[in-house]
Amino acid sequence: MLHRSKYKVLSEGIIECLIRVCGISAVVFVFAIFLFVFWEGKGLIFSGEFEFWKFLTTKEWYPASESNPRYGVSALIAGTVSVTVLAMVIAVPFGLGVALFISEFCSPKLKETLKIVIELLAAIPSVVWGFIGLTIMNQLIMKLFGAPIGLTVLNGAIILALMSVPIIVSIGEDALQAVPDSYREAGIGLGVTRWQMVYKVLLPAAKNGLLAAVLLGVGRAIGETMAVLMATGHAVHIPFNAEFPYLHGLDSVRTLTATIAAELGETARDSSHYQVLFIIGILLFTITFVVNLTADLIVKGVKGK
């Protein structure tokens, strides 16, 4: 029986207590974020001036108006949705394609190199992406599409796609690797080609993980701030209408995130404008929370508990 000094036992107890406290820190912070953001915005919600339905469905965004302040964010939501959707249309096929290539079709050496390149792509700061959108993409889009101005949905979408691809690739690749080799062996044993094995065996087996990868990519795109602030032209405008192609990628839009970033500085604390920006923050927090929760549930569904 080992004897341990009282000091050692006590100090170890303290350390273990500290460890447990830190363990729940993430939960504490998530709650805290919601709490503080809600706290700063609550004034407007409870003031009677604010109608939630009108907030979500009207597009007149004039929060700083003295005569007739209006808080409709439908155009801003349309901005976020349009850029995200277009970005995913680009990022999902490319991301899954790259994930498949890395996981199934390339040599181990190339795999290492590609994974490193993807990781470096993920490390690029969002303001640098925004700068690229503002300078390089702007000119490119104007030249290639003859658009009058290059700061558009398309610009933001391409940038967001390049930012989301690394997430889709790394989580997608994990999902593909998680499919047991026995599946692959069975396929080869039956004489199918690699592509057939991928298409008929792997993709269905990994679909939950791949779906989660896409969802996390969507979450990233919705939450992005600086890149879209600089690249989308910042116009309160709904780029959808009934004419083909329904989403006008060459229009300028403004996202929820960019609106907060652009307008927060001007507001005096506790003014309605200040509070409505925090309400948008709550909206964003809720959306990304739901997206992340869904992704987690999908993945856990596979592993089964």
Binding residues for other proteins restricted to 111-140, rule: CB under 8 A: 114, 116-121, 123-128, 130-132, 134-136, 138-139
Residues near 95 by beta carbon (within 8 Å), at least 6 away in sequence: 164, 165, 167, 168, 169, 172, 213, 214, 217
Token pair of 30 as six digits: 């998530």
The reply on whether position 146 binds other proteins by CB under 8 A is: yes
Q: Which residues ranging from 55 to 114 are in contact with other proteins (CB under 8 A)?
A: 59-68, 75, 93-94, 97-98, 100-106, 114
Residue whose CB is less far from other proteins, 219 or 249:
219
- As measured in angstroms, the least distance from the Cβ of 268 to other proteins is 4
| Cβ–Cβ under 8 Å, residues 224 and 257 | yes
Q: Which residues ranging from 185 to 244 are in contact with other proteins (CB under 8 A)?
A: 185, 188, 192-196, 198, 216, 219-220, 222-226, 229-230, 233-237
**What is the total count of residues that contact other proteins (CB under 8 A)?**
125
Integer Cα distance of 109 and 209 in angstroms: 25
The reply on whether position 156 binds other proteins by CB under 8 A is: no
User: Pick from 20, 56, 145, 190: which binds other proteins (CB under 8 A)?
Assistant: 20
Cα(first)–Cα(last) distance of the chain, in Å? 39
Maximum Cα interatomic distance, the chain, rounded to a whole number of Å: 83
The reply on whether position 145 binds other proteins by CB under 8 A is: no
Place of tokens 């990519």: 217
Question: Of the candidates 77, 46, 57, which has an alpha carbon nearest to the alpha carbon of residue 286?
Answer: 77
- As measured in angstroms, the least distance from the Cβ of 160 to other proteins is 13
- As measured in angstroms, the least distance from the Cβ of 210 to other proteins is 15
- As measured in angstroms, the least distance from the Cβ of 48 to other proteins is 20
- As measured in angstroms, the least distance from the Cβ of 295 to other proteins is 8
DSSP labels, 285-302: HHHHHHHHHHHHHHHHHH
Token pair of 222 as six digits: 């919705």
The reply on whether position 10 binds other proteins by CB under 8 A is: no
Q: Is 49 helix (H, G, I), strand (E, B) or coil?
A: coil
The reply on whether position 165 binds other proteins by CB under 8 A is: yes
Residue whose CB is less far from other proteins, 117 or 144:
117
Q: Which of these ranges, 47-55, 81-89, 240-248, 260-268, lies near other proteins under the rule CB under 8 A?
A: 260-268
Number of neighbours of residue 211 by Cβ within 10 angstroms? 18
